[in-house]
Amino acid sequence: MLKRLGAECIGTFWLVLGGCGSAVLAANFGGDGNPLGIGLLGVALAFGLTVLTGAYAFGHISGGHFNPAVSFGLWAGGRFPAKDLLPYIVAQVVGAAFAGWILFQIASGAPGFTVDPNAAGTFATNGFGSHSPGGYAVAAVFLCEVVMTAMFLIIIMGATHSKAPAGLAPIAIGLGLTLIHLISIPVSNTSVNPARSTGVALIVGGTPLSQLRLFWLAPILGGMLGGVIYKWLGPERPTVTGNG
């Protein structure tokens, strides 16, 4: 169990450092119109790549959840034991919080870097209303997070099914997360992962921290919904693992 938790902690650290790091450090590098900035497409791809590489590196150790919503979803889908939920979630949040701290130390090395808790999407935080990148209302953000996380779990459970092509699950999951970000970055700055949201909100504080409860509730509900839907769709293998 200790090694499994270590893998979850490091994998979640990598997801937050790589995904949020691309948003903070590279999305608008050099200012508007600079060709070196990776933009929305680059950030979406970065999140997908962190999950893809993390799943190949740690999936055989811990199942490669890196996300409390995935752990809850796999439990709801009959693939993960309830007794392991709390330890996994603690490990995931610790890894995300450490990544947020490391990212802040790196970003602070640039002249003029500041974190504004009143700005939408600051430091890759998630939000609704005036803190949504596109100004989306709380109901729209909630619905988006539930649906996107549900689809993420369906992709994960389908890709890791015993009848799916062997060895290709991380690719499908990584591309799935990339697509989810392409859809929902303008809406919520894309969470679908309570640990990812927590890791950066703890650094910023203020409104992102006060809105954090939505980015726990909606992804977990969505993850469980996706797990239940996929369990209903077809026969499940008798294992308690997952990937994502």
CA atoms of 113 and 123, how far apart (whole Å): 10
The type of residue at 230 is Y
- Tokens for 170, please give them: 């991380």
pLDDT, residue 235, reads 64
Average pLDDT per block of 10 residues along the chain, 244 residues long: 97 98 91 80 97 96 97 96 98 98 97 91 96 97 98 96 88 97 98 98 97 98 97 66 42
Predicted TM-score of the model (pTM): 0.93
Residue 64 has a pLDDT of 95
Give the number of residues written for the chain: 244
Choices 2.40.10.120, 1.10.1040.10, 1.10.730.10, 1.20.1080.10: CATH for 2-233: 1.20.1080.10
Output the CA torsion 124→198→195→73 (10° steps): -100
Sign of CA dihedral 138, 140, 146, 149: negative
Residue 189: CB partners within 8 Å, gap ≥ 6? 23, 120, 121, 124, 125, 126, 127, 132, 133
pLDDT recorded at residue 166: 79
Mean pLDDT of the chain: 93
Q: For the chain, give every domain's residue range.
A: 2-233
Which residue from 197, 19, 189 is spatially nearest to 93, judged by alpha carbons? 197
Whole-angstrom CA distances from 103 to 33, 36, 176 are: 24, 20, 25
pLDDT recorded at residue 29: 85
Q: Give me the sign of the Cα torsion angle 221, 45, 16, 191.
A: negative
DSSP track, 162-173: TTSPTT-HHHHH
Residue 237 confidence (pLDDT)? 54
Q: What pLDDT, in 10s, does the model give residues 149-193? A: 999 999 999 999 988 887 899 999 999 999 999 999 999 999 999
Q: What is the DSSP letter of 235?
A: P
